[in-house]
């Protein structure tokens, strides 16, 4: 009996030791992951701060510019620094609600600088209103830098770690309880809101953001109608779901937010959330979440599945343009094709699960903002006339007519040329009316898909 008791005791001690060791290893792994994330987020923060600091310097230099050709470099640097700062800001584990105004400020600065650089190249003099706007942007960048300097001091002193948000230790901002990075960014965001809106003809202009969606027409729908529309739209069997309106989105497209939950809490089915526009009752976006298993569906099959999905839901004549593959998901971008002319403002994205081919993601806000009845004019310049003006070193592979959106949301008919120089692939858009080069982009092939830069 004593031997059996001793054996049981030894077994218990061994089990406790094993559990203790496992727990210690789990603790070590969590600590290592937290350190990794904190280092990653700190690098993004310090990079962002560096770019904002350089942005302030470049804006200061812009105050002595006169609009001569050599000043274009200053505005190009402002555009570059603001773009890099935005990129690093998006890598921080902070909700977009807390960084909305900061992100918008950086976007507006870059776009305003870009528009001025185009004026400088076209030899248009800077006016007093330009100087006033640049001076205001400089002061705003200076204030942003001061706020970031305070955060940097706390990071260096170890009083602040950015990884705590990712670990789930979020503070109650609404009650004013936090001392973490969420609290810091809330303060910065409020400071950004004290500045007046920037008004100019660019894609991030506040007054242009208030434009009405052109593709949404008809009467306002009710919440009950929104539920029915959501159930019919998603790529799933509606009888397996219940729908509930969980809120209202009061953004550029006022919409009901609808949650679709599997009946009986069936974990094998995806959960969906979507927005259904109040005017017209169109689904603006939807997203389903579930575990995606490895599957054998090809990208071409996914493109065809997404195209048929759009067509069956009334969005027709769409042609795939670019795609991105992430794990077992493929996101395909479509644009409207009208009389053999690509209509790039009317864009839709679909995300297809490669294991079963279901469309788990759909984003059509740009489509419903831009869609309208168009009278596409005949080009005044022929393909041959425009191509003759291209760089002789570019080997043109293909060309077609395309309507592209401009920075003030106007639309321009262009000849689109795809060509190569030094094994790099370019997209060149030339105005089909006056021969002006409107836009140049690079096509980059990555393991995940073909992207534009």
Tell me: do 114 and 199 sit in the same domain: yes
In a domain, 316, yes or no: yes
Residue where a domain terminates, one of 312, 341, 371: 371
In this structure, what is the dihedral angle of CA atoms 92, 93, 99, 100, given to the nearest 10 degrees? Answer: 110
Boundaries of domain holding 440: 383-452
Mean pLDDT computed over 225-229: 97
Helices (H) and strands (E) in the chain, counts: 11, 13
pLDDT for residue 252: 81
Which residue's structure tokens are 């503070």? 171
| β-pairing verdict for 341-353 and 329-338 | antiparallel
In a domain, 336, yes or no: yes
Q: How far apart are CA 440 and CA 428, in angstroms?
A: 5
Give the pLDDT confidence of 407-450 residue by residue, as tens digits.
667 899 999 999 999 888 888 999 999 999 888 888 877 776 66
Residue where a domain terminates, one of 371, 394, 419: 371
pLDDT for residue 232: 95
Q: What CATH number should be reported for the domain holding residue 307?
A: 3.10.450
CB of 351 within 8 A of CB of 195? no
Mean pLDDT computed over 38-67: 81
Q: Which long-range contacts (C-beta less than 8 Å, at least 24 apart) are formed by 177-186? A: 181/92, 181/94, 181/151, 182/94, 182/95, 182/98, 184/147, 184/150, 184/151, 184/154, 184/160, 185/92, 185/94, 185/98, 185/99, 185/102, 186/98
Q: How far apart are the first and last CA of the chain?
A: 77
Which residue's structure tokens are 């800077």? 126
DSSP state of 180: S
In a domain, 154, yes or no: yes
Which residue's structure tokens are 């309106």? 245
pTM of this structure: 0.63
H-helix or E-strand spanning residue 150: helix 128-156
In a domain, 148, yes or no: yes
Give the pLDDT confidence of 14-41 residue by residue, as tens digits.
555 555 555 555 555 555 555 555 567 7
Domain count, the chain: 4
Cα 451 to chain center, whole Å? Answer: 14
- Reply yes or no on whether the pLDDT at 175 is more than 60: no
Tell me: do 185 and 75 sit in the same domain: yes
DSSP state of 195: S
Tell me: do 98 and 133 sit in the same domain: yes
pLDDT for residue 210: 64
Coil, helix or strand at residue 383: helix
Which residue's structure tokens are 């949404």? 216
In a domain, 231, yes or no: yes
Q: How far apart are CA 80 and CA 82, in angstroms?
A: 6
Which residue's structure tokens are 């060309």? 399
Tell me: do 356 and 412 sit in the same domain: no
In a domain, 20, yes or no: no
Tell me: do 297 and 277 sit in the same domain: no
If pLDDT is split at 50, 70 and 90, which confidence band does 298 have? very high
Distances (CA, A) of 350 to 234, 324, 381: 12, 11, 35
CB of 332 within 8 A of CB of 302? yes
Vertex 73 angle, CA 72 and 76, to 5°: 90
In a domain, 78, yes or no: yes
Residue where a domain terminates, one of 371, 397, 425: 371
Tell me: do 312 and 387 sit in the same domain: no
pLDDT for residue 173: 33
Q: Give me the DSSP letters along 392-453.
A: TT-EEEEEEEEEEE-TTS-EEEEEEEEEEETTEEEEEEEETTT--EEEEEEEEEETTEEEE-
Q: How far apart are CA 6 and CA 292, in angstroms?
A: 49
Tell me: do 253 and 302 sit in the same domain: no
- Reply yes or no on whether the pLDDT at 181 is more than 60: no
Tell me: do 80 and 185 sit in the same domain: yes
- Reply yes or no on whether the pLDDT at 65 is more than 80: no
3-state helix, strand, coil split of the chain in percent (to 5) is 45, 25, 30
Tell me: do 269 and 398 sit in the same domain: no
């Amino acid at each position: 009996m004593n031997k059996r008791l001793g054996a049981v005791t030894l077994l218990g001690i061994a089990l406790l030791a094993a559990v203790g060791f496992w727990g210690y290893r789990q603790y070590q792994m969590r600590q290592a992951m937290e350190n990794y994330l904190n280092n990653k987020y700190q690098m993004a923060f310090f990079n962002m701060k560096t770019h904002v600091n350089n942005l302030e310097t470049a804006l200061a230099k812009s105050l002595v510019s006169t609009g001569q050709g050599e000043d274009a470099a200053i505005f190009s640097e402002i555009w570059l620094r603001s773009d890099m700062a935005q990129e690093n800001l998006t890598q921080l584990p902070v909700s977009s609600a807390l960084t909305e105004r900061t992100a918008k400020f950086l976007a507006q600065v870059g776009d305003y600088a870009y528009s001025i650089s185009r004026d400088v190249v076209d030899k248009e003099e800077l006016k007093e209103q330009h100087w006033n706007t640049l001076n205001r942007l400089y002061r705003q960048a200076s204030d942003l830098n001061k706020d970031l300097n305070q955060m940097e001091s706390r990071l260096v002193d170890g009083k602040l770690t950015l990884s705590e948000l990712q670990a789930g230790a979020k503070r109650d901002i609404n009650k004013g309880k936090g001392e973490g990075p969420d609290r810091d960014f809330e303060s910065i965001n409020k400071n950004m809101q004290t500045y007046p809106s920037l008004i100019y003809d660019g894609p991030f202009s506040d007054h242009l953001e208030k434009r009405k969606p052109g593709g949404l027409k008809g009467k306002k729908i009710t919440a009950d109608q929104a539920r029915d529309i959501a159930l019919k739209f998603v790529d799933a069997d509606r009888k397996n779901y219940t729908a509930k309106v969980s809120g209202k989105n009061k953004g550029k497209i006022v919409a009901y937010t609808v949650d679709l939950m599997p009946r009986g809490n069936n974990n094998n089915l995806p959960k969906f959330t979507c927005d259904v526009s109040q005017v017209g009752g169109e689904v603006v976006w939807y997203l389903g979440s579930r575990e995606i298993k490895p599957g054998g569906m090809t990208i071409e099959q996914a493109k065809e599945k997404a195209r048929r999905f759009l067509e069956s839901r009334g969005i027709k004549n769409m042609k795939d343009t670019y795609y991105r593959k992430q794990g077992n998901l493929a996101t395909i971008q479509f644009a409207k094709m009208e009389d053999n002319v690509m209509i790039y403002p009317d864009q839709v994205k679909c995300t297809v699960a490669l294991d079963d081919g279901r469309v788990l993601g759909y984003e059509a806000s740009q489509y419903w903002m831009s869609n309208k009845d168009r009278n596409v004019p005949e080009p005044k310049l022929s393909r041959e006339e425009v191509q003759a003006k291209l760089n002789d070193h570019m080997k043109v592979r293909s060309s077609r007519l395309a309507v592209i959106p401009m920075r003030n949301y106007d639309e321009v008919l262009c000849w689109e040329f795809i060509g190569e120089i030094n094994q790099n692939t370019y997209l060149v858009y030339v105005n089909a009316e006056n021969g002006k080069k409107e836009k140049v982009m690079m096509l980059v092939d990555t393991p995940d898909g073909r992207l534009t830069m």
